Structures are given as C-alpha cells and as structure tokens.
Chain A
C-alpha cells in the first residue's frame, strides 16, 4: 500500500519514504500488539475465574480458594501433579486447557482483525502531506522516554511490592516488635495460632549480626583497600601500578558465591583449627570467617574509590606540601587524606551498604540461628541470610514466615538506600569542590 503512495507522490512527500513506511507499520501494528499483551496479561485470571465458577461447590472462602487455584495451576503445568491431583482439580485443569485453546484462537482472530482495520485506516489517512518523520520521531522519543522512566518504575515496583507484602506482615506482627524484639525464631511460628504469642519475630539479633559481620568486613577492607590505594597512587612505580591495579580489580569481579564457598571451605575451617590450636572455641560458621571473606571482597571496592578521590586531589597540593620539605607520608596524612576525607567517607559508606546487602557469602558461611552476640567467634545470622532461608524451599505465601522476609527486605532496602543516598551526595559534593 505504501509502495503505491511512494510511487505516485514521490515528488511531493515531505519526509523520506521510509518514514511513511515506519509510521504505517506503527499505526497498523501497535494497536494489535497492545490488544495482544493486554489479553495475555488478563487471560489467566479470567479463565481461572470461569473454571472456578464451573466447579460444583466453588467455595467462597478466599483462603481455600487460593489453595485450590494453586493446585489447579500445578496440575496444568506439571503432568505429575496432574496425575496425583484430585478428580475435581483434574476436571478443572482439563476445562482450563480447553478454554485456553479457544482463547488462543479468539486472540489470534481479534489481533488479525484489529490489524486489518488499523491498516485500512492507516491507508486512508496516510497522505503525502503528513509529516511522517516528525511523527515517527515523536513516537520513538516517547519510547525512549519510557525506557528511561523504567528506572523509576523499578524503584516504585520494589517499594510497592515489598511494602505491600511487608504491610501484610505488620498486620500480624507489630512494627515495634519487629524492630525492637530481641528474639527471632520464625520456624516456631509456622502454625497460625503461635504467631504473636510466641514473639518470634524480633529482628534485632539479625540487625546486630549484620552489623557485626559488616564491621569485621570493613575492618579488613578499609585499611587494606585504603593503604593499597595510597601505595599504588603515591609510591608504586607506574609498572607495578599497571600490573597490580587490574589484579586487585579481579577480586571485585569474582562472583560472591565463590567467596561464599571459599569462606565455608577454606577460611571457616582454618579459623576453627587455628582457634583450637590456641585454645579458643571458634564456631565453624563464625562471624569472623564470613566477615573476613566479605572484607576481601570489598577491598577492591574501597581501593578503587580511594584511588579515585586521592588522585582527584590536585597535584598542586602535593607539590605544595613536598616543596615545603614534607615527606610523602606527611603529605599524604596531613594534606591529601584530610582533603580527600569526604570522598573516602562516601566510598566507605557505599562499601558498608555493599556489605550489608551482600547475601551469598553469609548464606554459605554465616549461621542460621539468631544469636544476639557481639562475639565475632560465635555464629550469627544476618538479614539477608534470613530472607533466603525464609523464602527458599516450600513456601506458602500467606504465612507470616514468608511475609517476614519481605519485612526484612523492606528494612534492608531502606537502610542501603539511605547509605547510598548519603554516600553519593557526599561524593558529589566532594567532586564539585575540585572541579
């Protein structure tokens, strides 16, 4: 259709012919695509509703209905579940399959007819005088904007989804109990009647454990990272710097699951053995082992940020100090580090937030039981470990046990967000100072 338009009016078009093609395609195709996706989004729910209506004693109790839906879904997706399912569920599953076949046919028909109608309309309204390029570009621009807004949608998605599930949790367990309770044993609260009375959702031991491990990690990472950045930027010959820097960066590229394995297989047993040899009782999942390995992971992070902020201090400061007869270390300690301090603090805050949110190392090397202690030789558990243990494995989505994971996630999200926010702000202010 567009070819004709092109041939007939090529001389009078006010955009390149391609743009008419694109515009036509968008006009004709976009509505059909929209129909397709909207349909797909709601198909499952609508079909399920119909199936449930068909069932003889469609229970009105929401809880059992949800269970039933789960069973039916399983039966549809999984042949084994189908075989072991009850007669009723099997019937529903069959019905669902039937309906969904019909639905697919209907969908195809609808989409095709929408496409045909839109094409016809496009053909009718497409005249050479239309500013096709401007229109197409407007549409592309809209698409680009949408893509960049996705970042906001993701944040909103995180906040809303986590907040929603967490709020369901807080209907069962009070916020104060969660934030200030000293006892965490979610396993005991599997049965509904135990909740609340058992007081098993006090997250303080998790927060303390997280902080303890992060603290140990920073104890390793901050001095090693900072000093190696100083050495590389001030002392090392350029060849050493060129070789060592990328090697250190490798540590940052190693997946955390590898660190977790390293902590569990090498560092944990080694610390335990060392403890035994000097007569100390070190738990095999001690906070020390997890924190130490996490520290190793964070070293390159600290060192590259420190390196950035140290090299951002103008050379004139260095020269000024050295020309006064200061040694390199005096220059570093008295001029450069004080000047770079805000940047370094910002970097350390980012590193702490990294440590708090780190999951695999602690899942593999830290403990499971909530232990309110500041002794690094004992096993502690962390927020992320608990999120993983609560959500991995069989889960009913309504038990406070699983919902608790979202409450923890909410806390984790806001803590790391606040840390990042402050850190980025401090670092930016610092950069502006030297720009």
Chain B
C-alpha cells in the first residue's frame, strides 16, 4: 500500500487564468464598434452561466448580413458558448442559463413563445468535428427538408439534395454514391457534407464552430473557399483558432478573453492595428 501512496500523482492545481495572463487588473470592457449597418442578429447584454460558473460576461455584438463574422480568442474564453446562444443550442445542456437578449428580426429569440425548432431551422450550425448521421449521404442532406416538411415529392427532395451538395462543393465527388453511408467519407468530405446538410433547409444564418480544426490544409482551403461562396447568400458566424483563417475568410472579427468580448472591428483593423493590449498580445502570438 505504501507504494501507492508515495506514487499518488499530484493533480495539477486548478489553473487560475488571471494568474497566467498576468493582466488581472486590465479593463475588459469592449473596445470598438459592436454594431454593423445591416445586422442579421444582435446579441445584447449576454451573460451565460454553467450552474454557478459564469462563462460569458456582458457581451454585446452584431452579426452582419451576408458577411462572415469571426470569433477568436484563447481556449476556454467562451466562443463556443456564445455561438450556441445564437441558435439556443445551450438549451440542451443541463444547468446552462442564458441572460440577455438575442435578437433576430427585432425579436428576442429567447422569448417564451419562440420555438427553438423554428429558430434552429433559420440558424444552422456546423460543428467542430464532422458529425454526419449514420445514414446514406442522400439521407443526411435530406434530413432537414424531411423533418421540416419542406418537400412534397421525391423530385423536389432530389433537387434540394443536389443543389445543397453542389453548393457545398461535394456533388462531383459523391454524385454516384449517394446511397452510401455518410460516415464512409473522408474528414474533409464529411465536413462539407455537414455544411450541405445545414444549407439544405436554406437557413438565414450559419454558425460554424472551428469547422476546419479536424481537417488537413487542403480540405481546410476548400472549406474556406466554400465559406467565401456561401457568404453571398448566408450570414455566417465562425469560431476559429487560426488567425490566418479569420483574416482570410471574415469581414469582422471579435476577440474574446475569459468570457469578455474585448475588442471587435473590421478584420483588417483588428489584425493590423489592434487597440486593446490583450488583442495585440494574442495576435502577435504572445499567449493563447
């Protein structure tokens, strides 16, 4: 028994984020203009709690129409949490509570009478890890139109599936194996399949949570290209860890730190002339 005692591996002390950054006394109020001329969605005074723990503090932010908004920041700063507020996916997490307003068309999506089902049909989402359903490629893309009752006959459905795959840039690769399982595709193809699945119900907004983090550079390039295409028809909010990616695909960038929105502005301004010390440190790679 004594061996086991002496062997006990010390559990690392809970890392205290403020201690590691060394900026505990810094001002974390947002720098930059949070509004855009043609907002598709607006976040106002958003606070998010997981049980007792607060993960997002007082965030105000607009998501512009037909543009790509990027969210960047160190790991654990609440990007995913905030993104999931936009389509109320946080509802599915036990103990998660959202305060504040998320507006779409001037209405609060967190209002009682709003049905998250409808909201999620209008605000689609692509996840970090590709998650095609264990069904055929066709059925994956047809999933949304089917459950929402958007089609009435097979030809309609086939048309939707084809155009969605086309827009996701996947059609050529899969058009003669639509009946094969979606899980059999490569990682990059799977992610494009998930994008096709999301756009098949023609949402107004698409949320993407690090959509390329599981992919190789070539697949990433394809997805980035695709995002540029999709921007013409959809409003996109994307979380990314790659600053180059944010610089390449987005028009506006928001930088988060420890649950606070620290700085927001046009992407090129953020990357060339960051106003906040934390933003600067992050993009110059001093931490994160």
**A residues in contact (CB < 8 Å) with B:** 237-238, 314, 316-327, 330, 334-335, 338-339
Q: Of the 9-residue stretches B10-18, B60-68, B118-126, B271-279, which lies at the interface with chain A?
A: B118-126
Closest to A314 in B: B131
Residues of A within 8 A of B120 (CB): 322-325
Evaluate whether A330 and B147 lie within 8 angstroms (CB atoms) in the complex, with A317-B133, A338-B134 already known.
yes
Closest B residue to A313 by beta carbon equals B134
Q: State the total of A-B contacts with C-beta under 8 angstroms.
A: 65
Sampled A-B contacts (20; CB under 8 Å): A314-B131, A317-B133, A317-B134, A320-B127, A320-B131, A320-B132, A321-B143, A322-B92, A323-B198, A324-B124, A324-B143, A324-B144, A324-B198, A325-B116, A325-B119, A325-B120, A325-B147, A325-B201, A326-B147, A335-B134
Interface size on B, residues (CB 8 A): 27
CB contact under 8 A between A325 and B148, given known A238-B94, A318-B92: yes
Closest beta carbon of chain B to A113's beta carbon, Å: 43
Taking a contact as CB atoms under 8 Å apart, the answer to whether A319 and B201 are in contact is: no
Instruction: Give the most central of B89, B120, B132: most A CB within 10 Å.
Output: B120
Do A319 and B144 have beta carbons less than 8 Å apart? Answer: no
Task: Kindly identify, within residues 100 to 134 of chain B, every residue whose CB is under 8 Å from any CB belonging to chain A.
Answer: 116-121, 124-125, 127, 129, 131-134
Instruction: Give Cα A95–Cα B26 distance, bound, in whole angstroms.
Output: 103
Q: Is there contact, CB below 8 Å, between B148 and A339?
A: no
Which interface residue of B121, B131, B148, B198 has the most chain A CB atoms within 10 A? Answer: B131
Instruction: Tell me whether A323 and B143 are in contact in the complex, defined as CB-CB below 8 angstroms, given that A314-B131, A317-B131 are known contacts.
Output: no
Indicate which residue in B94, B116, B118, B133 contacts A320 across the interface (CB closer than 8 Å).
B133
Are A323 and B201 within 8 A (Cβ)?
Answer: no
CB distance from A331 to the nearest CB of B (A): 9
Q: Which residue of B lies closest to A434 (CB)?
A: B134
Given contacts A323-B120, A323-B124, A334-B143, whether A316 and B131 have CB atoms under 8 Å apart is yes
For the A-B complex with A323-B87, A334-B147, A335-B133 known, give 17 more contacts whose Cβ atoms are closer than 8 Å. Answer: A316-B127, A317-B131, A319-B89, A319-B92, A319-B131, A322-B89, A322-B92, A323-B124, A324-B197, A325-B116, A325-B117, A325-B120, A325-B121, A326-B117, A330-B147, A339-B133, A339-B134
Q: Is the CB of A323 within 8 A of B147?
A: no
- Hey, which chain A residues are within 8 Å of B148, CB to CB? 325
A339 to B135: give the CA distance in the assembly, Å.
Answer: 9
Given that A318-B92, A319-B92 are known contacts, is A324 also in contact with B135, CB under 8 Å in the complex?
Answer: no
B194 located at the interface, meaning its Cβ lies under 8 Å from any Cβ of chain A in the complex: yes
Bound: A316/B131 CA distance, A: 6
**Nearest chain-A residue to B120 (Cβ)?**
A325
Contacts of B119 in A (CB 8 A): 325
* Closest 6 A/B residue pairs (Cβ): A325-B121, A325-B120, A316-B131, A323-B125, A320-B131, A324-B144
Give A37 to B201 CA distance when docked, in angstroms. 78
Which of A319, A324, A327: most chain B CB closer than 10 A? A324
Given contacts A325-B118, A327-B117, contact A319 B143 (CB under 8 A): no
List chain B residues, Cβ under 8 A from A327. Answer: 117
- Cα A327 to Cα B117 with chains together (Å): 6
Which residues of B sit under 8 angstroms from A323, Cβ to Cβ?
87, 89, 120, 124-125, 127, 198
When distances are taken between beta carbons in the complex, the residues of chain A under 8 Å from B201 are 324-325
Tell me the complex Cα distance, A314–B133, Å: 10
Cα–Cα distance between A414 and B121 once the two chains are bound (Å): 52
CA distance in complex: A317, B144 (Å)? 14
Q: Measured between alpha carbons, how far is A317 from B119 in the docked complex, in Å?
A: 19
Q: How far apart sit A135 and B129, CA to CA, in the bound complex (Å)?
A: 54
Closest chain A residue, CB of each to CB of B144: A324
A320 (CB) vs chain B CBs: closest residue: B131
Mark B176-203 against chain A: 1 for CB-CB distance below 8 A, else 0.
Answer: 0000000000000000001001100100
With a CB–CB cut-off of 8 A, which chain A residues contact B132?
320
How far does the alpha carbon of A319 sit from the alpha carbon of B92 in the complex, in Å?
A: 8
A429 to chain B, nearest CB (A): 13
B126 to chain A minimum Cβ distance, whole angstroms, is: 9
Measured between C-beta atoms, what is the minimum distance from B145 to chain A in Å?
A: 10
A392 vs B143: C-alpha distance in the bound complex, in angstroms? 59
Q: Separation in Å of the A338 CB from the closest CB of chain B?
A: 7
Instruction: Known contacts A325-B148, A330-B147; decide if A319 and B127 are in contact (CB<8 Å).
Output: yes
State the Cβ distance, B117 to closest chain A Cβ, in Å. Answer: 5
CB distance from A314 to the nearest CB of B (A): 7
